[in-house]
Amino acid sequence: MARVKRGVTKTKRRKNILAQTKGYRFDRSKKERVAREAIFHAGSYAFRHRRAKKREFRNLWTLRINAAVRPLGLSYSKLIATLKKNKIGLDRKSLATLAKDYPAAFERIVKNLA
């Protein structure tokens, strides 16, 4: 059986790992072992933060809706309860966009609910 030397494969793998850590500081961008560990951590953070981003945006929408509704004499929870009671299917994202970008339209919607 022929002897297999792994120089090309090993170099390719190392270049790939170091290419993924481009922009990292110190040994994390220069040494293979440290770089591999940095990639694993970065991947787990990316996975976790993709989930957290959804929570953070929902909180932002809630804040925006509440801030827009307070001057109209309502609270966020009362607005959402009224929307559900009237079977209006506007989600929080679209409500927050209306409140931020089109306050007059948002005000008309809230006035029509009461």
- Helix 103-113 × helix 92-101 angle, to 10°: 120
pTM above 0.85, yes or no: no
CATH class of 8-113: mainly alpha
- Mean pLDDT score, 35-42: 97
Please tell me the number of Cα atoms within 13 Å of 97 on its side-chain side. 5
pLDDT, residue 19, reads 97
Q: What is the pLDDT of residues 55-73, one digit of tens each?
A: 999 999 999 999 999 999 9
pLDDT, residue 64, reads 97
pLDDT, residue 55, reads 97
CB distance 103 to 68 below 8 Å: yes
